[in-house]
Structure formats: C-alpha cells, structure tokens
Amino acid sequence: MLKKYFEKYFEKVKKRLDLVDIAQLEDIADMIELTQESGNKVIFVGNGGSLSIASHLTIDCINAADLKAVNFNDPSMITCFSNDYGYENWVAKALECYADSGDTLVLISSSGQSKNMLFGAKKARSLDVNIITLTGFLPNNPLRNLGDINLWVDSKEYNIIEMTHHIWLLSIVDYIITKNKGMDG
C-alpha cells in the first residue's frame, strides 16, 4: 500500500514539474540577471509555506549565486505593518518602504488569491518593479494575471504546488550559477 501511495505521489509531482514552460524559466533567469546588472535586487514574498520558500531562495541567491536578494520574513515587520495598515496591506507597505524602481518582485502564492499578494502586486506595478508570480489552484486566479511572468501549477494540493514552485525557483538559481561559471548544465 505505501509503495503505491509514494509511486502515485511522486508521479503527481513529476507531472507538475514537467508541465513548466522552459522558456518562462529562462525569461525569469534573464529578468533576474538584468535586475542585478542594473544594480537592483530581487524581493521574494510569500505566506506560510511559500514564505519558507521565499526565505530559502533569498539565501541561495545571496550565498550561492552572488545575487542581491531580500525577503520580508521579519515577524516584527509583518505584524507591525499588519497591525497598522491591515494584513491585506502589509506587503504593499513593505514594498513602499524597501522596493526601488527596477527591482524584481517574486510573489509566491499557492491560491493566487491572498489579498496581501494582490495588493503587493499592484503596489509593485506603481513603483515600476518587475513582477514574477507563482500560483496554483485555479487557472484564472487573480494573481496569475498581475505579473510580467506568471508560472502556474495545475494542482489543488498545497504541498504539490509548493514543492513545484520551490523546485522551479531553485532550478533558476542553479541555472544562473551554472551560467555564471561558464559551465553547460
């Protein structure tokens, strides 16, 4: 029974991973590299498990890929801005304080319906910040339409979506590392 469960589970993950448009991954890598070349930074934002992905990606960008990256994972900032401006506005407020024109924002949201992510995308647009979204669940979720590049996972299962987002994003970081070292993957 367990063997069949795990075989089916990993098949679900593999299927989602394989559905990515490779050209979009390259476009994201190019956007991140252009952001760096112009002296700007990449900002990673998420809620819950996606916040953990944002944290991991920030560290890998800084430490392994030598890229300028930040995230908004400080509980004091999140709770302060949520308390003062409403939870739905904390991302927009953080961007107002920390984002610069030419930065790239990566919004990671399984549902694509979190108001703080939606308001954050709108604020980023007004600040002339590039926007990449990673979503799942419904193909017509509202966040999926707000990015310059939008990756979507065809699943309604949080862990499948989050693992897929994580692997796609890490593959981009590894691609940039490999490219910068002049290696062929």
DSSP assignment of 77-122: HHHHHHHHH-GGGHHHHHHHHH--TT-EEEEE-SSS--HHHHHHHH
Neighbour count for residue 75 (Cβ, 10 Å): 7
Mean pLDDT of 45-62: 97
In tens, the pLDDT along 4-40 reads 999 999 999 999 999 999 999 999 999 999 999 999 9
C-alpha to C-alpha distance for 99 and 131, rounded to whole angstroms: 12
| CB 108, CB 54: distance < 8 Å | yes
Question: Beta strands 69-71 and 149-152: pairing type?
Answer: unpaired
DSSP state of 73: -
Q: What is the pLDDT of residue 182?
A: 79
The pLDDT of residue 109 is: 98
Kindly list the strands in the beta sheet with 42-46, ordered across the sheet, starting from the edge strand earlier in the chain.
69-71, 42-46, 104-108, 130-135, 149-152
Amino acid, single-letter form, for residue 74: D
Per-residue pLDDT tens digits for 153-183? 999 999 999 999 999 999 999 999 999 887 6
CB atoms within 10 A of CB 109: 28
The superfamily CATH assigns to domain 2-180 is Glucose-6-phosphate isomerase like protein; domain 1 (3.40.50.10490)
Predicted confidence (pLDDT) per residue in 109-160, tens digit: 999 999 999 999 999 999 999 999 999 999 999 999 999 999 999 999 999 9
User: 86, 24 in Cβ contact below 8 A?
Assistant: no
Three-class SS state of 68: coil
| pTM of the complete model | 0.96
Is 90 exceeded by the pLDDT of residue 74?
yes
Reference 45, options 78, 21, 82, 85; nearest CA is 78
What residue ranges do the domains of the chain occupy?
2-180
